[in-house]
Chain A
Amino acid sequence: MNRTAPRCLVSISLALAWCLLAVRAPAELADYEPWDEEIVEIFKAMPIQEGGRIKPMQAYAETTLLRYNAMRALRFETADGTKHRVEGSAWLLDVFFRPEVAKAIPCFIVNDSDAVIAIGVEEHAKRRSRYSYDELAPAREKLSELAREYGEIEEAERTGKQNQIVDLARNVFQFEFLEHTFDFARDGLDVNLPEISPELAGEGVAISTFLENMGAIREAAADPAKLAAIDEALRTANNQMMLYLNTARSFAIIPPQGDDQEDAWLLPAEIMEDGVGSAADGGGAAAFEIGILRKLEGLAQAEPGSPAFAAALKALSETTIAAAEARGEMKSVPLELALYAGKFPLRTQLALVFGFLFLAASLLFSRRGAGLWLRRAGEVCAIIATLLLLGWLTLRCLIMGRAPVANLYETILFIVAIIMLLALGFHYLTKRPFVLPVALFAGSTGIFISMLYDRMKGEDTMGPLVAVLNSNFWLWTHVTTVTMGYAACLLAAKVSHVFVFEKLFGSRNKELFRDLTPLVYAIICFGLFFSLIGTILGGIWANDSWGRFWGWDPKENGALMIVLGCLAILHARLGGLIKQDGIHFCSIGLAMVTAFSWWYVNVMGVGLHSYGFTSGIKRAVWIYWGIELAVIVAGVVGWLLARSDSKASGSAKQGPAPNAAHSAA
């Protein structure tokens, strides 16, 4: 085998690995006291309801931080030179209970310093940098004004700077709400009704106490002599409560009484809104809810990080966990914690990258000795990566109770897993050495894209489904089969890249070329099988959901185009229209069709499968098309040149052509 291509691939992957592992320059902060590990562990495991599902606080913390910071953890350096790494849950503890510290931590990513210059904030030395709330706060008005102005422009039409400002404003203002989430528990109400209860006198009366006494307050208000004073006291309390009602609604932390899982958990603000009435009735549910409010108050008023704080947090956590368990809603929380603790994205990526490096390096050596050991190491890494992917997907299945293919992020993971399984299968069945490194490279690219996508979206990737997708049967049958078709087509294209690059780099390894072509053909057959069946199954699902089998919707068209592409390649080969090189060029073209179907049609903004606009995806697909088109053109030019060379050498071997006179003679 020619060794130029593996060398190039090794260099590319080393550069990629360096990019991935490069440490970012930390920002500076005066001082930072890390949270006690036990406190962080209790806090991250607390169940809440947010975004339509029950999840651990860690999920909420990491998604929020991801949106602000483009990373799930913060890295910064304090003035004394200490480097800190703060994970999402610890950062959220800061935001809730040490807001002054949180405000000084640089957590808002700005990709282009033009955005901060536009709002009048002094830019950092680096164009892409993280800013703290304290740095941005003086420019709050300008930020708000510009965000309002740019918000009126369609997202697709905005410039990069305008998008940055809109995103930054959204994050900064959400941060402000977050840091005030527990104000109600910390500050309480100013109520002065000592004649009703001695506890209702002075500043900072606990809201739980106020709600508990609502019945007595109402009773007293029936007395005309007391009505004016009570009215005045309630007016003051209500004004304060109005502020809390806006901020105490980041997530629902209070499980409702009863075991009906369709009942939504309650926000602290909802307890304040509704609790007044229920407290007056003296119902048990209200007593439970008020009990949780009291625990929240105990937590917010304790010294952050102190033993009292830890005890209050533990008491709150135990109460909510017990209530959630009683409702049968705690099953997915430990699984989700295990998912985060497993660090699947990073570990899978490492296994894929190292597997690729070992296998690519093994091609530089002979098949024995170091080459054999490197190959074995690469195979072990590939198996580990596949097991990690399967574990990752299985955990997601168990958490969500559905097939892990309902959004674009999940399809990336699923496709990478299928590519790895397919490659391992082909590797052990055909004993060809090139399938596995190609799959590892493709898998690593896929995981890298999933990480980028996760950062770009900055949202919960395990969110609930819209009504039409809420069908486990069809997700497991139609979506998985279609996605397996995508995986096969992409793998075939990756193998075809090896063919094209090997030829471009001048390899004359005919045995390799002979092996690659039937392999690509077989993978395309596999792709056709799943694409065709998946597409027809999709039609049957559409028939049940929307009343028609086929509606020429962009997503349906995308799936059909893959089927047509596969069929065209297979029939063209059978008819002799394309041979060795042609199959590989067409296979790369098929990957372009697959990318169109997988990504582009979802962001077109039309049709029944439109999953919403994600900035940058369309451009990324066009860039991918450009690259693949360039590969095809380069391959075709190389093929034409090689053909003309072989013709020339063929005619040179045959000697000069006989001239007409000779022929006549």
Chain B
Amino acid sequence: MSNPTQSPSASAVDRVLRFLASYSLATVLFVALLILVMLGTFAQLYMDIHDVKREYFSSAFVVHRFHANVPGGDMEPTGWWMPWVGGYPLMALLFVNILVGGLIRIRKNIRTIGVVICHFSILLLLAWGFVTNHFVDEGYMQIFEEGEKNYFVDYTKWDVEVIKQTGEGKHAKVFTIPHEKLAPLDRSSGSRRTFSSPAWPFAITVSHYRRNSAVVAGEGEVAVDGFGLSRVPDAKKAEQNVPGALVEIATEGGDPQRGLLWGLSRAPLTVTDADGERWSLKLTKRIYNLPFTIRLRDFIKDDHPGISMAREFQSEVTKIEGGKSDDVKIWMNHPMHAGVYTLYQAGWGPQEGEPAGTPDYTVLAVWKRPLFSGWWPLASVCIVSLGLLTHFIMKLVGHFEREAARAARKAAAAESQPAAPAP
């Protein structure tokens, strides 16, 4: 019942807050998240993890399509589907629910201190998840023994690089059409988008963008100069997809030029503008520059004795920065930290199937993330442990006190009863 002295708007706000802080909302959110996580787990049987992350956990809404095994070990859609809420709204609402219910509206006294601490740490963790999801660059670098690199490449993001050539193989400036603007063009077959920049003497129209494609001699979905571009089914791992697209370059006063961009193409597409300047375009995995260089001195794969199972693999590298060299060892569970960058041992080669004579190489996963964010989860786990322990121990002590009181009451009741007359 509303308070007559309270304004109607205050009452509405109170109702909204009460709803946002309610146990019912929390329960619904936990169950909805549980179902989402289960659907996202099953989806990994037939989808790449990157796609699952994007479609299920970094989305507002998801349509889960049920799949079944078919002979040969593959999975095919059954035709059944189920709409569900995506990870973003669920986690955002959970954040609000914990904030309002677990921190703001909760009765704060000695008995609820553990609960408050737990809710605070979970909020920290959710906030950390948001930060890492939005402010992290992730990629890898493959370095051959005695080789070095000062950049890493993204696993799945492909950009179009527009490069102004200055002759002698050097280029003056690189502009990019980012993956985020290209990827939406894959959603429908007729999608196209024109990109222009004051720095360019032309406009670039991208169409027929296919996130995994093949270039074949002849027709294909779209063909230029006897070569066709065709969509191919997604690779099992999204990082193995090779995109392709048709570009039309409209120069001032000249005829528009058409060409195919393809991820594995060795030669870039070249264009000459009205002033005779040469430009080249290529579709390439996004590159992130590092403020230091990593040189691989040695890669060591150490097997368990007598079998070919790796016990350890490690990269002995030298970090070169500002004329200073540091020898570092990177191995499983022991990454290298360098400011906002962290380098992990992720892979090695040559693997089976690679050409004979391929030298040893290492694959290092590289993460760039806000400073100190690595400590965030550790702090959370410490706080949540403290909170839960405090709460459950207090509950347990309370339980034993109640039990003892009950037993004492029983004993007192038994004593107060008159003794039964002797037979």
Contacts and interface: CB of A to CB of B under 8 A. Distances in A.
Interface in A245-281: 252, 261-265
B392 interface: yes
Given A157-B72, A572-B23, A547 B305 contact: no
A575 B346 contact: no
A466 B310 contact: yes
Contacts of B31: 564, 568
A541 B138 contact: no
A70 B25 CA distance: 52
A74 to B, nearest CB: 28
B44 interface: yes
A560 to B, nearest CB: 6
A561 B24 CA distance: 18
Contact of A554 (B27, B41, B72, B138): B41
Nearest to B388: A529
Nearest to A526: B392
B94 to A, nearest CB: 10
Contacts of B73: 154, 156-157
B332 A470 contact: yes
A468 B37 CA distance: 25
B41 A601 contact: yes
B38 interface: yes
Contact of A471 (B53, B333, B380): B333
A113 interface: no
A564 B392 contact: no
A154 B44 CA distance: 19
A540 B305 contact: no
A32 interface: no
Contacts of A575: 22-24, 26-27
A250 B381 CA distance: 47
Contact of B37 (A157, A467, A560, A574): A560
B367 A548 contact: yes
Interface stretch (A44-52, A93-101, A316-324): A44-52
B45 interface: yes
Interface in A548-572: 548-554, 557-558, 560-561, 564-565, 567-568, 571-572
Contact of A568 (B34, B310, B342, B388): B34
A557 B389 CA distance: 24
Contacts of A561: 34, 37-38, 41
B33 interface: yes
Contacts of B45: 604-606
Most buried by A among B30, B128, B311: B30
A511 interface: no
A50 B38 contact: no
Identify which of B138, B310, B377, B400 gathers the most chain A CB atoms within 10 Å of its CB.
Answer: B377
A576 B302 CA distance: 57
A337 B315 CA distance: 39
Contacts of A522: 395-396, 399
Interface in B200-241: none
Contact of B385 (A49, A464, A533, A571): A533
A468 B388 contact: no
Contacts of B378: 540
B377 A547 contact: no
A263 B303 CA distance: 10
Contacts of B400: 429
A537 interface: yes
B138 to A, nearest CB: 7
B353 interface: no
Given A547-B365, A607-B44, A564 B33 contact: yes
Interface residues of A, number: 68
Contact of B388 (A261, A466, A532, A572): A532
A395 B124 CA distance: 41
Given A262-B305, A544-B334, A607-B44, A571 B27 contact: yes
Given A265-B306, A547-B342, A468 B129 contact: no
A52 B72 contact: no
B304 A53 contact: yes
A50 B305 CA distance: 9
B34 A546 contact: no
B374 interface: yes
Interface in A461-486: 464, 466-468, 470-471, 474
Contacts of B23: 571-572, 574-577
Nearest to A575: B23
Contacts of B313: 467
B306 A50 contact: yes
A525 interface: yes
B367 A552 contact: no
Contact of B24 (A154, A558, A577, A605): A577
A552 B53 contact: yes
Interface string A509-526: 000000000100010011
Contact of A49 (B38, B306, B374, B395): B306
Contact of B333 (A541, A554, A565): A541
Contacts of B361: none
B335 interface: yes
Contacts of A553: 49
A492 B37 CA distance: 23
A565 B27 contact: no
Interface in A364-393: none
A290 to B, nearest CB: 21
Given A543-B377, A606-B44, 17 more contacts: A52-B307, A157-B73, A263-B305, A466-B310, A467-B332, A526-B392, A537-B381, A543-B374, A544-B334, A544-B335, A547-B366, A549-B128, A557-B40, A564-B30, A568-B34, A576-B23, A604-B44
Closest 9 interchain pairs by CB?
A: A575-B23, A52-B304, A568-B30, A264-B305, A154-B73, A536-B381, A547-B344, A564-B34, A464-B304
8 contacts: A52-B306, A466-B310, A536-B380, A540-B377, A548-B132, A552-B49, A552-B53, A606-B45
Interface of A: 49-53, 154, 156-157, 252, 261-265, 429, 464, 466-468, 470-471, 474, 518, 522, 525-526, 528-529, 532-533, 536-537, 539-541, 543-554, 557-558, 560-561, 564-565, 567-568, 571-572, 574-577, 593, 596, 601, 604-607
